[in-house]
């Protein structure tokens, strides 16, 4: 029996199963994400069962007051759980309530009045331009087959040169590659949103070399990047490979696959790229997410002021 089922009445159990199906099919949530959501919802129901005295029903969810939700967050705080953990749990529970309302199964608007725990601003850990270049251009391990060397370089260039998430890069199929004179890559990102990403000639050359040297010939719908035995390349292999690279080069531990994506955006911004353009390239749903990079490189914002009429007027004085 699932953890959440221990504290839920049958009709609530049925609703949770449908919610999980929706997350899997409609939202395409990863297995790890689903597990985290289940744990957060199970912990919430466990609190309610103790708080209200018995298994939780859909009717009880609708009756919850704002003070009940606040008591739940206070109980988490008393157990020493971090603000980040509680903010994530609140997001999961709030999402469950929103889903229930859209489905016409249960509703409680009071949770909308609950403030999330305040979190410190988390800035992306971008690499410097020299460090990023060193990581991407590092000579491959000689003991590796030539096609593995070509594969790893192509993946690194997609992360830093095109700003792809590691899951997006490894989710590419053979049919996703540009054909003929086309230089754009079709990316299926979070929330099943599709975006088109232009590729630099260096990345196109790296992908071409990998395809030419790879002993496996995936067809259109099959994974482009392959592991040593021919199966789809695991993210763990990429993570460990970058870990070994950064250690051999003496780079900081923050040099991770996702840091290369952050570096892509930060370095574009420093070069004068428009935030809206960077938002499109990264596939961010909200510009506010992209704006985090302005805190990483404020010098780029000062450059933007140089074209303001008042800045020009000041120079004439």
pLDDT tens string 210-221: 999 999 987 778
Instruction: State the pLDDT confidence band at 227, using cuts at 50, 70 and 90.
Output: very high
Catalytic residue among 258, 262, 267, 292: 258
Q: What is the mean pLDDT of residues 276-300?
A: 72
* Residue 114: predicted pLDDT: 87
d(Cα 108, Cα 97) in Å, to the nearest integer?
7
Choosing from 226, 246, 262, 284, the catalytic residue is: 284
Residues 158-187 pLDDT 10s: 999 999 999 999 999 888 888 878 888 888
Q: Is the pTM of this model over 0.95?
A: no
98 is catalytic: no
Is residue 190 part of the annotated active site? The answer reads yes
User: For residue 199, which phi and psi values (nearest 5 degrees)?
Assistant: -110, 135
Structure confidence at residue 299 (pLDDT): 57
Percent of the chain with pLDDT strictly greater than 90 = 44
DSSP string for 66-94:
HHHHHHHHHHHHHTT--HHHHHHHHHHHH
pLDDT at 280: 84
Q: Say yes or no to pLDDT of 29 above 90.
A: no
Establish whether 284 is a catalytic residue. Answer: yes
Is residue 165 annotated as a catalytic residue, yes or no? yes
As a whole number of angstroms, the distance between CA 234 and CA 127 comes to 24
Q: What are the CA-CA distances from residue 114 to residues 88, 94, 249, 255 (Å)? A: 13, 9, 47, 37
Catalytic residue among 27, 190, 195, 303: 190
Q: Which of 165, 173, 157 is nearest to 191 (CA)?
A: 165
Burial 226-245 (b: 16+ CB within 10 A, else e): beeeeeebeeebbeebbeeb
Percent of the chain with pLDDT over 70: 88
Q: Which of 38, 151, 153, 165 is catalytic?
A: 165
Q: Is 258 a catalytic residue?
A: yes
Enumerate the β-bridge partners of residue 197. 185
Q: List, in order of start, the domains of the chain with CATH numbers.
A: 3-113 (1.10.150), 129-258 (1.10.443.10)
| Cβ neighbours of 207 (radius 10 Å) | 24
Among 151, 226, 261, 262, which one carries the catalytic annotation? Answer: 261
Closest of 227, 288, 286, 249 to residue 134, by C-alpha: 249
Q: What is the pLDDT of residue 218?
A: 77
Say whether pLDDT at 307 is over 60.
no
Catalytic (active site) residue 305: no
């Amino acid at each position: 029996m699932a953890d959440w089922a221990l504290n839920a009445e049958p009709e609530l159990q049925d609703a949770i199963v449908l919610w999980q199906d929706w997350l899997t099919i409609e939202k395409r949530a990863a297995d790890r994400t689903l597990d985290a959501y289940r744990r957060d919802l199970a912990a919430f129901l466990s609190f309610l069962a103790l708080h209200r005295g018995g298994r939780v029903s859909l009717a009880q969810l609708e009756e919850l007051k704002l003070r009940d939700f606040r008591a739940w967050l206070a109980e988490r705080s008393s157990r020493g759980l971090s603000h980040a953990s509680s903010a994530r749990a609140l997001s999961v529970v709030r999402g469950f309530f929103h889903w229930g309302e859209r489905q016409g199964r249960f509703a409680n608007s009071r949770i909308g009045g609950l403030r999330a725990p305040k979190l410190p601003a988390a800035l992306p850990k971008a690499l410097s331009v020299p460090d990023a270049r060193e990581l991407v251009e590092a000579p491959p391990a000689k003991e590796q087959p030539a096609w593995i060397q070509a594969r790893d370089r192509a993946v690194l260039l997609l992360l830093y040169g095109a700003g792809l998430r590691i899951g997006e890069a490894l989710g590419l199929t053979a049919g996703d590659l540009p054909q003929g004179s086309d230089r754009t890559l079709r990316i299926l990102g979070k929330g099943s949103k599709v975006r088109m990403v232009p590729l630099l000639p260096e990345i196109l050359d790296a992908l071409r070399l990998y395809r030419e040297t790879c002993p496996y010939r995936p067809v259109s719908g099959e994974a482009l990047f392959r592991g040593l035995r021919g199966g789809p390349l695991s993210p763990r292999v990429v993570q460990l490979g970058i870990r070994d690279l950064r250690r051999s080069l003496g780079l900081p531990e923050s040099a991770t696959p996702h840091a290369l994506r952050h570096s892509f955006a930060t370095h574009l911004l420093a070069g004068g790229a428009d935030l809206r353009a960077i938002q499109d390239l990264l596939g961010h749903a909200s510009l506010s997410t992209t704006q985090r990079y302005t805190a990483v490189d404020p010098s780029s914002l000062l450059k933007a002021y140089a074209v303001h009429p008042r800045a020009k007027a000041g120079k004439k004085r």
